[in-house]
Amino acid sequence: MCGVVGYIGYRQAQETLLQSLVRLEYRGYDSCGIAVVDGDLKVFKDAVRVADLAAKAQPLNGTFGIGHTRWATCGEPNQANAHPHQDCTHTIAVVHNGTINNHVPLRSRLKSQGHVFTSDTDTEVIAHLIENHYHGDLASAVRSALAEIEGSYAVAVVHHHEQDKLVVARKGSPLIIGLGQGENWVASDVPAILGYTNRVVYMEENELAVVTRDGIKLWHGDNEKIPEIKHVEWTAEQAHKGGYDHFMIKEIHEQPRIIRESNSTSIHSGVKDAELSGILSLDPPPSILILACGTSYHAGLIAKYLVEELLGLSVNVELASEFNYHRHRTPEALAIVITQSGETADALLAMRRLREHGTKLLAITNVPGCTASRLADETWYTGAGPEISVAATKSFTAQLKVIYRLLLSCSRLERRDFDRLTLALRLLPSAIQGVLDNQLEIRSCAKYLASCSGVIFIGRGLNYPIALEGALKLKEVAYIPSQGYAAGELKHGPLALVSKTTPVVAVLGRDTTHDAMLTTLREIKVRGAPLIAIAPKGDDGLDGLADYIIPRPEVDNLVSPMLNAVVLQLLAYYTALELGCPIDMPRNLAKSVTVE
C-alpha cells in the first residue's frame, strides 16, 4: 500500500525521488519523506502531501537516495512516524512497505541494548537491526537484519559510508528495479519510473539486490542469479490525466477503447503449463473456485452467473480474505484468482495455500510481471493499462471482458451462445460511448444524491453484483453510506431502512428478472422512498414509478453488467464532484492492498 522509491545515478536525487513519489500517490498515503546523501545523510519527512514536502525541503545536491509514501498501519500519521527511518548513528536510512509481526519483542531487545527509538512504527526496528549487524558491508548487514524479521517487507536502504549503492529486498510486498544507462531506480510499482525507463526487473520472493549506478547484483537466498529483464509496454502518457480533471473520469472514458482493442486482438495469455482454460471443457465437469477482493470480487460474482448459465458448471466465489481462514477442505480442481494489481496480499496468500494442495491456478490481472502471474499456472491479462485512481473503473470492465473471453475459449460453450456473446461484445463499445455522450440524467441524479445521508442499491441476477459495485463506488469516492442488496432480499430485513429520506437505486435489465424487479419497486414506492432506475431505453414499466430514470442503450443481457457499471461509475464520480471530495485518492484507502 505504501510507496517505496530509490535512485542512484547522475541526476539530482531529490527531484527524481519526489517526481517518482508523485507518480505513486494513487496508492494512497498520509505522510511522505526522502533521504539523500549530500555530504551527510539528510532526511526530510512529514505528514503532508508530496508537493508540500517538496516546497519545504531544502535543496540537496546528492545523486542517490530513497523515498516513501506511507499509509499508516503501525503508529499514527505524523512526522515522527513518517519514513525514512534512521538508526542511532544517523548513518543508515530505511524505507519499508509491509508488516513486521515480531517488532514488539525486537524493539524491547534493542532498547535493552541501548538503542533509542523515535517513532511508534514497526519499520524503525529494521534500521536498528542493520546498525547492530553493520561491519562495513551494507548488503551483509541488511541480509542479517532481515533474517530476524517475521512478516512482510519491501525495503530500500542507504548508508552514509557506502555512497555507491542502494540495498533492496522483498518478501511479501512488491518491488521492482528500473534499469538505465549510468543510473538505476527502485520502486514499488511501474508508474513511479515511467518516463525514465521501460526496462525493469521484477524482484521475486526472498530476493536481495545491490543496486549501483552501473548495474545490479541479485541474490535469491544465498545464491546469486542473473536478473531477468522485462520491457514495460505502458507509456508515461498513459499515466497522465490527459486533460481530464481527475484520473477516475479519464479512466471511465477509456473503457470503450479498451474493450474495442481487446475485440480486435487476442488477449495476451502467459501460459506456463497446459492451457488451463481447457479444464473448463473436461467431462465430468471440474469444481471451480473464484477468489478475489473488493471490486474484483464483484467481477467474480458475475463470472459465477455466466459460467453456471452458459456452461452448466458449479462455481464457488469467495473473498480471499475470508478463504484464508477456512479450515482445510478438499481443494477445487481449478481456482481463478482475480486481482487488479496482482499484488493483493490476501489473494497471494490464498494462491500459495492452493498451490500446496495441487489446485491449478488461473490469474486474471492487469499488471504483467506481478506476483500473482508468477504464482499462477496460467495468466490472462486485462490490458487496461495503468489505472491511477484508487476507485477501480476500467480495470473492472476489463476483468469482465477477460471473463467473457474465457467463456468464448471454452469448447463446452454452445455455438448459438458463442455467436450471441461475440456479437454482444462487438456492439458493446458503442453502447458504452452512448452512455458517456449522454450524461444529463446521471449528473441530475448525482446532484440529488449529494444531499442524501444514505443510499440503497438493488439488482437481481447478473445485475445484483452490479448493485454491490455501485454501492461500493459511492462509498469509496463520495463517502455516502451505501448498501447493495439482492432485490428479493429487501423483505428479509433491509426494507426497514427504506424511507422518504433514503433513495433506492435499482439496476434493471430486460430479462427474466424484470417483472420481479418492478414488483419490488412498487413495494418501495408505497413506502415513500425516492426511486432511481437504471434501465434500457423505452422501459414503459417505469413510467409513474421511478422519480429519476437513467436510460441506457439496449444491449444483450449477457453484457448488460458492463454497461450498467459505467452508469454507476459516473453516478459516483459526479456525486463526489458535487461534494468536493478528493476523488482519485479517497481517505483511508490505497490502490494496491499489499498487507492483510
Burial bucket for residue 528 (CB in 10 Å: 0-12, 13-18, 19+)? exposed
The residues, ordered by sequence, that sit 6+ positions from 81 with a Cβ below 8 Å of its Cβ are 31, 47, 70, 72, 75, 119, 120, 121
What DSSP letter does each residue of 267-291 carry, written as one string? PPEEESSS-GGGGGG-SSPPPEEEE
> Pick the catalytic residue: 2, 293, 370, 581?
2
The residues, ordered by sequence, that sit 6+ positions from 108 with a Cβ below 8 Å of its Cβ are none
- The beta strand positions in 184-235, using DSSP E, are 184-187, 199-202, 207-211, 216-220, 223-225, 229-231
Calpha distance 125→111 (Å, rounded): 10
Question: Which of these, 542, 527, 531, 459, lies nearest to 497 by C-alpha position?
Answer: 527
Cell representation of residue 338? 482475480
Calpha distance 471→456 (Å, rounded): 7
* Helix (H) or strand (E) run with residue 100 in it: strand 92-100
Calpha distance 246→262 (Å, rounded): 25
Phi, psi values for residue 316, rounded to 5°? -105, 135
Calpha distance 248→226 (Å, rounded): 39
Grouping H, G, I as helix, E, B as strand and the rest as coil, residue 581 is coil
CB 207 within 8 A of CB 190: no
Dihedral angle over CA of 497, 498, 499, 502, nearest 10: 90
> Pick the catalytic residue: 42, 45, 304, 591?
591
Amino acid at 499: S
Beta bridge partners of 186: 6, 177
Calpha distance 253→436 (Å, rounded): 7
Calpha distance 213→412 (Å, rounded): 54
Calpha distance 509→310 (Å, rounded): 18
Grouping H, G, I as helix, E, B as strand and the rest as coil, residue 8 is strand
CB 269 within 8 A of CB 379: yes
Q: Is 230 among the catalytic positions?
A: no
Question: Which of these, 50, 47, 83, 80, lies nearest to 66 by C-alpha position?
Answer: 83
Give 477-526 as a 3 state SS string: HHCCCEEEEEHHHHHHCHHHHCECCECEEEECCCCCCHHHHHHHHHHHHC
**84 preceded by cis ω (within 30°)?**
yes
CA separation (Å) from 278 to 36, 274, 281, 482? Answer: 52, 8, 5, 40
Question: Which of these, 82, 71, 72, lies nearest to 28 by C-alpha position?
Answer: 71
Q: Is 42 among the catalytic positions?
A: no
Active site residues: 2, 591
